[in-house]
Structure 1
Amino acid sequence: MSNTVTLRLTKELSEFAKNPDHQLYLHYDDSNIMNIKAMITGPPDTPYCLGQFEFSLQFPRDYPSNPPKVLALTTNHGRSRFNPNIYAGGKVCLSILGTWRGNAGEQWSSAHGIISILLSIQSLMSDTPYRNEPGHDQEKDPAKLEPYNQKIRHETIRISICDRLEGYLGIGQTLNFNGSTDSTTTTASTPSSPLGAVNNTLATPVGTPNSGGTPIATTPSMFESLYAPAVTPDDEFCDLSKRLFLSYYDIYQNTVRTESEQIKDGSVFYKAPFEFGGNKMDGTFNYASLAKRLEAIRTAIDKETNDWATESSSWISHLNSISGNLKRQFEQVREYYNESNTGVVDIELTDDNPFLWNFTLFGKPMSNYDGGMFKVKIVFHKDFPEVQPRVKFTTPMYHVHVTQDGVPFYTVEKLDDARSHIEAISRLIVEDEPSTNPSTHVNLQAAKLHFGNKEQRREYNRNARRCASRSTDYFD
């Protein structure tokens, strides 16, 4: 690898880290930055809404003179074409990648880079992906556009969310040949230790479809030839995927409820005129099954978090360096907040356990949360910071960026710094206006009211003030 390529990629990765996007994620090995994994969450208000789509980027030795080779990895083992430009076999058709002829001025140039590539792929995940197919870009017939969207919504949840998370958590599924789930065979087993750390082994679902009509059990090597160059048993986004799932769970279930009111389970997917051979998306709708699968995933992740808390007492004695680091951070953070007036009080450990933190947030004066006192619990894992902590408001919180059951959506610059986590969570309450980025709106009702008309905004303010008023009831 030439120094020119190394310097270019290093610079791009540094810029990416300084300007994180809520919907673009990267993972790479410092010893070989020519191979990068990326995960894109589908844009809200599209049929790909908050799905988790993974891609590999393999950079040539003459980069940036030539583009990287990009392969879509979220394809249901090569069976599902998620977009006219994202094939079942993994090919991504984009003019800047040289995989599509495009128009003049749309080809690859050295001015392009990692971010522009990912944003171009993300732009394919539009509200009407049917129109991405050449010759159909002016299609207006809802009888074609919406049925195509409907099956993508279903498969986004089934494949990019359920299949993905079930693999991480060891939840088994037996699948019928067309990919619909036989919900009667679902079993859940949560490992004693979480599959959250980078490079942990990815659990393989016990059932995958064959070409016949009966459920079968398969070996992990069944589709090895399709993905051997790009996919390994290790998945670098395991911990991230779980945390995103906790934030977006209500949104996934809302999609399931909404779509199930429009589509009867057992209905066959619409087949677009440009789908053929193995490059298509076949199947039947089964939203009843998806609702149960999402619930089972949520239960398993919650149990995993509880297991961390239970096992953490043994980590204190066996993992002196990790527990010692967290204990020092706790003492430093507590001293910092004791000496400053930042709206955070009563930072403490549960039973003097450095893996279990609790703190209280004061609502900002003259704001909707004025007078409020909100308890927050942080559970750290023994592999912190590779595995990020699980955070939850234990006092009910009504906020655009906090789920109905208390999971906050936030980002931190220093993943290994506990104070950065507390400060990021505090900003949700201290800042006057929530972010307008819809991918951060994890309370749908609150977001609808806050960003609605004047009367809806007033209702949001009333709910927030009511939340603050009742928060003191949760203190002894």
Structure 2
Amino acid sequence: MSSNPYENEPGYENANSQHDKDNQKAYVLKIRHETLRIAIIQRLEEYLGLKADGTSIVREPRDEAGGDSSSAYVDEGGVYFFEPFKDLCKRRFLWYYDTYLASIQAEKEKVTEGQAFVQMPFEMSGGSGGNSMEGKFNYPELERRIQNIRQKLDAEAEGWGVEGMKAFKDERGVAANLQRQFEQAKVFFDKSETATLDMELEDNNPFIWRVTYFGRPMTNLDGGLFIFTVRFSVRFPDEQPRVQFSTPMFHHKINKDGIPAYFPGGLHPRPDDAKSHIEGVISLLEEEDPAYDPRTQINIDASKLYWGTKEEKREYSKQFRRSVQRSIEYA
């Protein structure tokens, strides 16, 4: 397979005329536009019950047995079951949100709004057998829709706290479970010699954990104080928590909105163990020589410096240390 999608079409493997080269560029342009529109935006809008204009699709409320009104739950014959892939897509969208916006800004400079897609010689229009990718470029529209998705996801996570407090007052099992996990995690970290942090519940809500991590002495984090919030859903662990730093960080695995690209950590990492999520975030902060993982490079500027030349790596270290030194200002 070629990295040039035009060359992957049968009969066009070695097409190198000037006309073909122009088509190759045009083909890539519309593929990028439609990948954002269909694979990312339309998918998330469907999951979140959003229309293209940003308004919400009205759904019938679900009973207590069904769990909730989350679009990650699917109705099949009156029985609601959880689709973990939808939850994963939401979390990955939050990871790559800055990257999507940067792609939109870069691509819209290459085309004119309303410009029609160029039809390729191997595309055929009309009929049920047509394979033509037809349409027009409209990056401002994609930008607006992607921002609507982000706002909806933020509102969804905020709503977890309200749902959680109700579950706590109703003495539901998930609330008791998270309360117990919080108490156990607090004892664990109080006794731990590997990390220094403070944990508290926001407004005594076991579904919102506020964590303050103190940078270890004699490390690049020395003198730093970093605050992040872990929000849990009443569907936990089916629906995984969402973590966000309120302390600005210049880090190649933390995007500009403070969302870290982490995986559950600890000796025995488990997605159903709340402590594993805390350990995963700490591991992300403390790792000194991480292997390159393209999935987690979610801060574009920081990643370019971190994986760049020696001079760029030194610049990364300077900006990282500067953010550590300033972290106390946001406590």
- After TM superposition, the score normalised by the length of structure 2 is 0.87
How many corresponding residue pairs? 310
1:442 pairs with 2:298: yes
Partner of residue 280, structure 2 = 424
Q: How far apart are the structure 2 equivalents of 1:366 and 1:328?
A: 34
Partner of residue 160, structure 1 = 39
Partner of residue 79, structure 1 = none
1:411 pairs with 2:267: no
CA displacement at 1:464 relative to structure 2: 0.5
Q: How far apart are the structure 2 equivalents of 1:330 and 1:390?
A: 16
Q: How far apart are the structure 2 equivalents of 1:284 and 1:311?
A: 42
1:392 pairs with 2:267: no
Q: How far apart are the structure 1 equivalents of 2:96 and 2:279?
A: 22
Instruction: Say whether the 8 Å CA contact 1:370–1:465 is kept in structure 2.
Output: no
Partner of residue 335, structure 1 = 187
- Could you tell me which amino acid in structure 2 is paired with residue 460 of structure 1? Y
Decide which of 283, 301, 315 is 2:135's aligned counterpart.
Answer: 283
Q: More helix by proportion, 1 or 2?
A: 2
Give SS of 1:274's match.
coil
Identity %: 42
CA displacement at 1:343 relative to structure 2: 2.0
1:402 pairs with 2:281: no
Q: How far apart are the structure 1 equivalents of 2:300 and 2:45?
A: 25
1:137 pairs with 2:13: yes
1:195 pairs with 2:47: no
Instruction: Say whether the 8 Å CA contact 2:44–2:90 is kept in structure 1.
Output: yes
- Could you tell me which amino acid in structure 1 is paired with residue 74 of structure 2? N
Instruction: Say whether the 8 Å CA contact 1:400–1:434 is kept in structure 2.
Output: no
1:324 pairs with 2:172: no
Alpha-carbon spacing, 1:250–1:325, altered in 2? closer, same or farther (3 Å): same
Instruction: Say whether the 8 Å CA contact 1:364–1:429 is kept in structure 2.
Output: no
Q: How far apart are the structure 2 equivalents of 1:373 and 1:196?
A: 36
Q: How far apart are the structure 2 equivalents of 1:162 and 1:363?
A: 38
CA displacement at 1:456 relative to structure 2: 1.5
CA displacement at 1:242 relative to structure 2: 0.9
Give SS of 1:237's match.
helix
1:271 pairs with 2:119: yes
Q: How far apart are the structure 2 equivalents of 1:396 and 1:255?
A: 23
Partner of residue 65, structure 2 = none
Instruction: Say whether the 8 Å CA contact 1:367–1:432 is kept in structure 2.
Output: no
CA displacement at 1:236 relative to structure 2: 4.5
Instruction: Say whether the 8 Å CA contact 2:161–2:205 is kept in structure 1.
Output: no
1:251 pairs with 2:99: yes
- Could you tell me which amino acid in structure 2 is paired with residue 160 of structure 1? A
Instruction: Say whether the 8 Å CA contact 1:194–1:304 is kept in structure 2.
Output: no
Instruction: Say whether the 8 Å CA contact 2:163–2:234 is kept in structure 1.
Output: no
Q: How far apart are the structure 2 equivalents of 1:279 and 1:344?
A: 58
- Provide the aligned C-alpha RMSD in A: 2.3
- 1:245-276 CA-to-partner distances (Å, cap 9, x unmatched) read 11111101111000001111111112222222
Give SS of 1:392's match.
strand
- 1:362-386 CA-to-partner distances (Å, cap 9, x unmatched) read 3244433222111110010000001
Correspondence 1:300-315 to 2 at 5 A: 300-315=152-167
- 1:151-180 CA-to-partner distances (Å, cap 9, x unmatched) read 11101110111111111112112xxxxxxx
CA displacement at 1:354 relative to structure 2: 1.1
Partner of residue 64, structure 2 = none
Partner of residue 108, structure 1 = none
Q: How far apart are the structure 2 equivalents of 1:309 and 1:257?
A: 34
Q: How far apart are the structure 2 equivalents of 1:194 and 1:254?
A: 32
Q: How far apart are the structure 1 equivalents of 2:10 and 2:97?
A: 35
**Higher RCO, 1 or 2 (CA under 8 Å, sep at least 6)?**
2
Runs of at least 5 residues in structure 2 that lack an aligned partner in the other structure: 62-67
Correspondence 1:430-469 to 2 at 5 A: 430-469=286-325
Q: How far apart are the structure 2 equivalents of 1:162 and 1:425?
A: 28
Give SS of 1:295's match.
helix
- Could you tell me which amino acid in structure 2 is paired with residue 394 of structure 1? S
Correspondence 1:332-371 to 2 at 5 A: 332-371=184-223
Runs of at least 5 residues in structure 1 that lack an aligned partner in the other structure: 1-123, 174-184, 203-232
Give SS of 1:200's match.
strand
CA displacement at 1:134 relative to structure 2: 2.4
Q: How far apart are the structure 2 equivalents of 1:190 and 1:377?
A: 30
Q: How far apart are the structure 1 equivalents of 2:229 and 2:82?
A: 30
CA displacement at 1:188 relative to structure 2: 4.1
- After TM superposition, the score normalised by the length of structure 1 is 0.61
Partner of residue 170, structure 1 = 49
- Could you tell me which amino acid in structure 1 is paired with residue 21 of structure 2? P
CA displacement at 1:144 relative to structure 2: 2.1
Give SS of 2:318's match.
helix
Q: How far apart are the structure 2 equivalents of 1:258 and 1:201?
A: 40
